[in-house]
Amino acid sequence: MKDLNNAFPDTPEYVRHAIHMGLNRARRRQALKRRLFALASAAAVLAVMLGALTLAVNERRLAGTRLRSPNPGPLAHGYATDGPTPKPLPKPTPEPTAVPLPTAVPLPTAVPLPKAVPLPTAVPLPTATPMPTPVSRPTERPTPMPSVLVTALPTARPVVDAGLFTPMPTAYYPAKAAVYEAAIVPEMSEAADSEVVEQFVYSTKNGKYYHGDRSCSGMRGASARLIAEAEKLGQSACPICMPEDPTVWMTRAGKYYHDSEDCSGMRYAVAMPESEAIASGRKLCPVCQSSRVRTLRTDFYSTDGGKYYHADPECSGMLGAVRRTEEELQKLGQGPCPVCVGNP
């Protein structure tokens, strides 16, 4: 058989050239692939970073939206409440810190001491149930208002014998300031984790409620006492002047805080607890206040021939006012006093 190789001429030059061209094309394609892969990797990293950034921004916005939502939950705006009664009550600390304090500057009489220590005043101490001793001490930093610090209480609320405490002069305790003392004095708030500030309230001996405002509902003859004292007398918080710390609304530049987000056409309101609004120096909007009064009160004061009914029995120098129910007032055809009740 013939040699088939003779049927083909010598390998032309273009074959080698074609092989080199194919190799060069392949190398260029590979380099392009690598560049594209690097670009894609960089883009992916960038996208992840952008996504994380967007997520963070959205979370902030979402937090802002939650704060502005009409019915934020108790924890929605970051303010935790202790339970059904959000008024700051003494919290039991896990480790009693009954540090003996220097007694060089004791408070006048409200210093409950252990039984072993002879009391300077002949005040009977509760001995039936041994309780950890609430130690009252002055704050280390001078604060504008004196306060009583209760430490190391195993019970949820401090029990202070009413006889041990002599109320401080009331001039030191403006009504609201006394109620929301922890909010007003930031230094005290910082110490609130381990030491809880006891609040002063106002009440009469035979009253049903204790109040944050000593003139609430025309109250007279009220004396200041600790919440624990008032509760021991069977009194509860006044729903008018000491409601549970509700969520209120206010604008940055506003003078008042409001119960509703759109009170008086208000816009861009921010939600917060009432104690915080009070601490920022705002007052309750008169419209919302009158609404609260009308909502919570079931009885008012009025004279027989009067035109208005009043929340304050001595409003505008009124004499001889009689306590009446809403039904009686409707029968008399009397309207709300624009001063103490407010316009509907």
Task: Between 28 and 331, name the residue whose CB sits nearer to other proteins.
Answer: 28
Task: Between 22 and 51, name the residue whose CB sits nearer to other proteins.
Answer: 22
Rounded to whole angstroms, how far apart are CA atoms 178 and 202? 10
Instruction: For Cα atoms 229, 235, 239, give the angle at the middle one, nearest 5 degrees.
Output: 120
The least CB distance from residue 1 to other proteins, in Å, is 8
Residue carrying structure tokens 């001491």: 113
Task: Between 20 and 208, name the residue whose CB sits nearer to other proteins.
Answer: 20
3-state secondary structure 210-274: EECCCCHHHCCCCEEEEHHHHHHCCCEECCCCCCCCCEEEECCCCCEEECCCCHHHCCCCEEEEH
Task: Between 3 and 95, name the residue whose CB sits nearer to other proteins.
Answer: 3
The least CB distance from residue 24 to other proteins, in Å, is 9
Task: Between 4 and 122, name the residue whose CB sits nearer to other proteins.
Answer: 4
Rounded to whole angstroms, how far apart are CA atoms 187 and 172? 18
CA 197 to each of CA 35, 118, 143, 238, 264: distance values in angstroms, whole numbers, following the listed order: 66, 26, 13, 20, 36
The least CB distance from residue 67 to other proteins, in Å, is 58
The least CB distance from residue 43 to other proteins, in Å, is 24
Per CB under 8 A, residues contacting other proteins are: 1-12, 14-19, 21-23, 25-27, 29-30
The least CB distance from residue 34 to other proteins, in Å, is 13
Structure tokens at 220: 């007279």
